[in-house]
């Protein structure tokens, strides 16, 4: 199962996918479910879970698979899949994973950005089972922070990422997140009670809840404990957010001094109805809201008049989290039974908006204009 | 030192205060330093630290003072000040404390709210020393969460709060925050290396960093571990944030179903120059930025044109925090050497704005209109 940078990568051996996906990029495969289908249930069915790939999907034999753990550890490891399943406690968490590029298409409509165009459905929620990264790192006798152990660097087996000269996808998280017992970072081998499907990282992937999906590396090849962040393109030259004066002519000055994205911000979107729908009363609006860092979604506001007046949506709170461990989205609904302004008219145009607030009183920015950024990441403006 | 609800409370024995304070309310005393003075140093001099009192300042004898610890604990405690100093490890942290009402005056200018009017200086930063609340609760053999220990309820000795029928000030935090080793909740007896001054809670106060100042109860009388939040007015009928449709006619429906504020959101303000100043180039803008929950301030953006274009301020990063333990503000500066648009005019009006971003990619809302709320709390809109 050794791969190297020079191998031919091809898309000839991609897995079967749900024909109902909206395909945003074909090869590598990037697709999101229909937004109305997404909010039908708290746990997204595996086949509907959005797919964000950076290269062809590796075809890995779980029997011969080995995870390497090296770097600033006293006891470097090579672990088989059965070692991982048998030597370490099995932990199951519900967690949403959201791409930092979620809602990028809307940002691009305001002003063009580069990157895969995503609607509002590049996030999904699953039950993940695996071992704690913390347990594996402790077994490897990981060094302390003062000894320089600051980042857990992940490499995938998905060779052939065009942005990074054919290297596999790579990324890192801080050791504080990796080693936090309440951080719930897993090396997951099951998704919704079944072995991971190929598109979601078979046989082993990182699940780093509360932070951008880009850090939850799939088809995990190696964990290296390091004093430095991942040197991958995807850590150093992507997934960063700048003010609107940074463009492709001057961005080189900014990459190194801009932190790589980790925790997600507060986010919400209306999934039903689709924009420009004709509604017949009573009508129920349905959507999702989520925040990063385990923060709880405290409320979702709905406006029928573009944000002049608001009311509270009902939260369908299936995320039974505890303080700072709310890893999953909440779904919300709001039923319109009458429109106060509706008088003698048969039709009335309403301007639906949603915005969420989290347990740190953070809320979404109103206008995409104010958060526009070159890479089109972290678009969490009010959803009209 | 026993007080009771019926005692006469008077303001005849208030401590000496800096004559340079801006007094927002005289009795109880509520005052903030001059905003230009505030940002002269990272640690606010004790006499310049903003004061937010809810009643007359108690005059407590440290020799006879006793802290009570009761409720859901196996070993209720009565501890003298020297017990607290001698039995428990002394811990020192730098932390900013910010009133949830900071910048309320600006919110009230948009649309009237009730509450003490504060400018932009109802926050300050100090070095606090004391013992960990966690250590005291463990010594008291605190029950577990499954045994119902969900809130640490604090009562002060400042009898005479008019909002709460003469009771002392009270508030609570979650046990997750209280018991989190990384949460750094202290029972502090020193401020900037000296015993607490009377205005800041002598002889003992709570310092709960990263959350609204209202939870850092001064003149601490008692800690009760409870399955319920504090029943104080200040937990149940204040310090909550609603949408703009909640007013004094309908608010009763909303209090109980609205969470009490805990973690602070992302905030920043320009302290120098004052609004409507005449500036001569080169000119340096100075201000502060802070976030809640220990999140790091990653960047501060400055605009000279009301938010159309932005540049980065320089962060004077004296907060040497670690992941999710950035308890102190950062000060920032930005020097204007020339105005690109200045051509043949002698004078030019610029529209300065700042906004900050934290490590969870949260940023401040643009317009106060969009976050206006009945109690005028958590105003963190862009600062013009
Ligand atoms: Mo992503
Ligand atoms: Mo406050």
CA atoms within 13 A on the CB side of B195: 11
Q: How confident is the model at residue B6 (pLDDT cuts 50, 70, 90)?
A: very low
Interchain pair A244, B309: CB under 8 A:
yes
pLDDT surpasses 70 at B34: yes
Low-confidence ranges of chain A (pLDDT < 50): 1-6
Distance CA(A362)–CA(A293), nearest Å, equals 12
Chain B nearest-CA distance from A308, in A, is 8
Chain B nearest-CA distance from A57, in A, is 30
Interchain pair B264, A361: CB under 8 A:
yes
Distance CA(A294)–CA(B210), nearest Å, equals 15
- pLDDT value, residue B343: 57
Interchain pair B301, A263: CB under 8 A:
no
pLDDT surpasses 80 at B322: no
Residue B275's Cβ-count burial label (10 Å; 0-12, 13-18, 19+) is exposed
The ligand with the least distance to the CA atom of B215 is 2
Closest residue to A245, CB basis, from B309, B362, B363: B309
Phi, psi of A40 (to 5 degrees): -75, -20
Residue A176's Cβ-count burial label (10 Å; 0-12, 13-18, 19+) is middle
- pLDDT value, residue A1: 37
> Is the minimum CB–CB distance between B247 and chain A shorter than 8 Å?
no
* Chain A nearest-CA residue for B363: A365
Interchain pair B366, A363: CB under 8 A:
no
Longest dimension (CA), chain B: 77
The ligand with the least distance to the CA atom of A376 is 1
Percentage of chain B modeled with pLDDT above 90:
89
Interchain pair B298, A259: CB under 8 A:
yes
Question: What 8-state DSSP symbol labels residue A369?
Answer: G
- pLDDT value, residue A342: 55
Interchain pair B311, A245: CB under 8 A:
yes
Residues of chain B positioned with their CB less than 8 A from the CB of A371: 363
Distance CA(A149)–CA(B367), nearest Å, equals 42
Residue A87 backbone zone (phi > 0: left; psi -120 to 50: alpha; other: beta): alpha
Q: How confident is the model at residue B290 (pLDDT cuts 50, 70, 90)?
A: very high
Q: What is the pTM of this model?
A: 0.94
- pLDDT value, residue A203: 98
CB environment A60-95: b (16+ within 10 A), e (fewer): beeeebebebbbbbeeebebbbebbbeebeebebbb
Instruction: Give me ligand 2 centre to Cα B368, in Å.
Output: 19
Which residues lie across from A187 on neighbouring strands? A131, A206
Interchain pair B176, A265: CB under 8 A:
no
- pLDDT value, residue A114: 87
* Chain B nearest-CA residue for A180: B182
> Mutating which of A212, A301, A360 best tests the B interface, going by the most B Cβ atoms within 10 A?
A360
Q: How confident is the model at residue B4 (pLDDT cuts 50, 70, 90)?
A: very low
- pLDDT value, residue A347: 73
Distance CA(B324)–CA(A68), nearest Å, equals 29
CB A100, CB A325: distance < 8 Å: no
- As given in the structure block, the two tokens for residue A176 are 């504080």
Instruction: Give me ligand 1 centre to Cα A116, in Å.
Output: 9
Average pLDDT rounded to a whole number, residues B30-36: 97
ipTM score here? 0.92
Q: For chain B, positions 52-71, list CB contacts with chain A under 8 A.
A: none
- As given in the structure block, the two tokens for residue B304 are 């000279």
The ligand with the least distance to the CA atom of A101 is 1
Average pLDDT rounded to a whole number, residues B298-304: 96
pLDDT per residue as tens digits for the range B80-108: 999 999 999 999 999 999 999 999 999 99
Average pLDDT rounded to a whole number, residues B203-210: 98
Residues of chain A positioned with their CB less than 8 A from the CB of B245: 309-311
Instruction: Give me ligand 2 centre to Cα B214, in Å.
Output: 4
pLDDT per residue as tens digits for the range B231-273: 999 999 999 999 999 999 999 999 999 999 999 999 999 999 9
Secondary structure (H, E, C), chain B: CCCCCCCCCCCCCCCCCCCCCEEEECCCCEEECCHHHHCCCCCCCHHHCCEECCCCCCCCCCCCCEEEEEECECCCEEEEHHHHHHHCCCEEEEEEEECCCCCHHHHHHHCCCCCCCCCCCCEEEEEEEEEEHHHHHHHCCECCCCCCCCEEEEEECCCCCHHHCCCCCEEEEEHHHHHCHHHCCEEEEEECCEECCHHHCCCCEEECCCECHHHCCCCEEEEEEECCCCCCHHHHCCCCCCCCCCCCCCCHHHHCCCCCCCECCCEEEEEECCCCCCCCCCEEEEEEEECCCCCCEEEEEEECECCCCCEECEEECCCCCCCCCCCCCEEEEEEECCCCCCCCCCCCCCECEEEEEECCCCECCCCHHHCCCCCCCCCCCCEC
Distance CA(A377)–CA(A263), nearest Å, equals 13
Interchain pair A295, B293: CB under 8 A:
yes
> Is the minimum CB–CB distance between A309 and chain B shorter than 8 Å?
yes
C-alpha gyration radius of chain A = 21
Interchain pair A245, B310: CB under 8 A:
yes
- What average pLDDT is seen over chain B? 94
Percentage of chain B modeled with pLDDT above 70:
95
Closest residue to A263, CB basis, from B265, B310, B359: B359
Q: Listing from the earlier edge strand, what are the strands of the sheet with A22-25?
A: A22-25, A30-32, A51-52
pLDDT surpasses 50 at B302: yes
| B15 Cβ neighbours under 8 A, 6+ residues apart | B57, B197, B198, B199
CB A351, CB A368: distance < 8 Å: no
Distance CA(B210)–CA(A223), nearest Å, equals 32
> Mutating which of B245, B355, B362 best tests the A interface, going by the most A Cβ atoms within 10 A?
B362
> DSSP labels for A286-354?
EEEEE-STT--EEEEEEESBTTSS-EEPEEE------TT---S-EEEEEEE---TT-SS-S----B-EE
Average pLDDT rounded to a whole number, residues B141-167: 96
pLDDT surpasses 70 at B342: no
Phi, psi of A292 (to 5 degrees): -95, 175
Interchain pair B310, A361: CB under 8 A:
no
Residue A192 backbone zone (phi > 0: left; psi -120 to 50: alpha; other: beta): left
- pLDDT value, residue A341: 62
Distance CA(B290)–CA(A230), nearest Å, equals 28
pLDDT per residue as tens digits for the range B49-73: 999 999 999 999 999 999 999 999 9
Interchain pair B263, A361: CB under 8 A:
yes
Q: How confident is the model at residue B344 (pLDDT cuts 50, 70, 90)?
A: low
The ligand with the least distance to the CA atom of B212 is 2
Chain B nearest-CA distance from A128, in A, is 23
Instruction: Give me ligand 2 centre to Cα A226, in Å.
Output: 42
Q: How far is CA B120 from CA B48, B305, B379, B383, in A?
A: 14, 21, 10, 9
- pLDDT value, residue A3: 44
CB A226, CB A342: distance < 8 Å: no
Distance CA(B206)–CA(B183), nearest Å, equals 13
Interchain pair A365, B363: CB under 8 A:
yes
Chain A nearest-CA distance from B15, in A, is 34
Residues of chain A positioned with their CB less than 8 A from the CB of B260: none
> DSSP labels for A37-88?
HHTT-SSPPGGGS-EE-SSPPP---TTT-EEEEEESBSS-EEEEHHHHHHHS
Phi, psi of B282 (to 5 degrees): -75, 150
> Is the minimum CB–CB distance between B264 and chain A shorter than 8 Å?
yes
Interchain pair A241, B361: CB under 8 A:
yes
- pLDDT value, residue B349: 85
- pLDDT value, residue B3: 44
């Amino acid at each position: 199962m050794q791969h190297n940078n020079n191998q031919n990568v091809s898309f000839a051996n991609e897995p079967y996918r749900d024909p109902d996906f909206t395909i945003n990029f074909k090869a590598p495969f990037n697709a999101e479910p229909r937004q109305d289908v997404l909010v039908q249930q708290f746990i997204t069915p595996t086949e509907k879970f959005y797919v964000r790939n950076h290269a062809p999907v590796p075809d890995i034999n779980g029997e011969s698979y080995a995870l390497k753990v090296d770097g600033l550890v006293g006891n470097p490891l090579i672990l088989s899949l059965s070692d991982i399943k048998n030597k370490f406690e099995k932990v199951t968490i519900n967690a949403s994973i959201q791409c930092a590029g979620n809602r990028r298409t809307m940002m691009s409509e305001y002003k063009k950005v580069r990157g895969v165009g995503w609607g509002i459905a590049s996030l999904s929620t699953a039950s993940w089972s695996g071992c704690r990264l913390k347990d594996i790192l402790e077994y490897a006798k990981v060094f302390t922070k003062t000894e320089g152990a600051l980042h857990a660097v992940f490499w995938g087996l998905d060779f052939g990422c065009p942005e990074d000269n054919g290297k596999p996808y790579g990324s890192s998280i801080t050791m504080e997140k990796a080693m936090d017992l309440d951080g719930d970072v897993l090396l997951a081998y099951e998704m919704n009670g079944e072995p991971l499907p190929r598109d979601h990282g078979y046989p082993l992937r990182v699940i780093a809840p509360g932070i951008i999906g880009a850090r939850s590396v799939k088809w995990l090849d190696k964990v290296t404990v390091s004093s430095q962040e991942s040197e991958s393109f995807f850590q150093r030259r992507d997934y960063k957010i700048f003010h609107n004066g940074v463009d492709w002519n001057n961005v080189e000055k900014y990459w190194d001094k801009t932190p790589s994205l980790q925790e997600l911000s507060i986010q919400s979107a209306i999934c039903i109805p689709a924009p420009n729908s004709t509604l017949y009363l009573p009508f129920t609006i349905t959507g999702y809201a989520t925040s990063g860092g385990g923060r709880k979604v405290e409320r979702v506001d709905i406006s029928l008049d573009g944000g002049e007046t608001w009311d509270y949506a009902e939260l369908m709170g299936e995320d039974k989290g505890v303080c700072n461990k709310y890893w999953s989205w909440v779904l919300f609904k709001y039923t319109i039974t009458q429109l106060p302004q509706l008088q003698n008219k048969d039709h009335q145009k309403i301007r639906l908006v949603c915005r969420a607030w989290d347990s740190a009183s953070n809320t979404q920015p109103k206008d995409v204009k104010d958060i526009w950024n070159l890479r089109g990441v972290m678009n969490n403006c009010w959803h009209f």
